[in-house]
Amino acid sequence: MRHYWSWEEEQCYEKGRKDEEYHRHNWEHDRWSEKPCDKAYYDGREDFAREERRREEERQMERMEEERQERLHYERQQEEEAYYRAIEEQAYYEQQEDDNQSIIDIEPNDGQE
């Protein structure tokens, strides 16, 4: 927010900000005029446009950070699922090996006792 010497300039500045916000154009003000009120009006428009660009850049950065966090979460989840699948698979094979060993222990030794 800029500060001007006169109340009229302050009002023109605010009017410029509002017009830029609502995408209106006020033909009463001349961009190239040397009048303080016209300068204040266009200063207001430019300041609002600059702030809006900055806010949009911040929103874009926030979206990118959220997407990055989602990807990291998804990757961690995939790694965790792969880890638990490997543990289950290892337990399954160990159980199969134990079952096979039990069967071998139960089978007779071809009559050589």
In Å, how far from its chain's centre is CA 12? 37
pLDDT of residue 67: 97
pLDDT attached to residue 41: 93
DSSP 8-state code for residue 109: -
Query: CA-CA distance, 72 to 93, in Å (whole number)?
Result: 31
pLDDT above 60 (res 55): yes
Question: Per the confidence metrics, is the pTM higher than 0.75?
Answer: no
pLDDT exceeds cutoff 70 at 59: yes
pLDDT, mean of residues 49-55: 97
Statement: residue 2 has pLDDT above 70: yes
Residue 108 confidence (pLDDT): 59
- C-alpha distance across the termini of the chain, in Å: 101
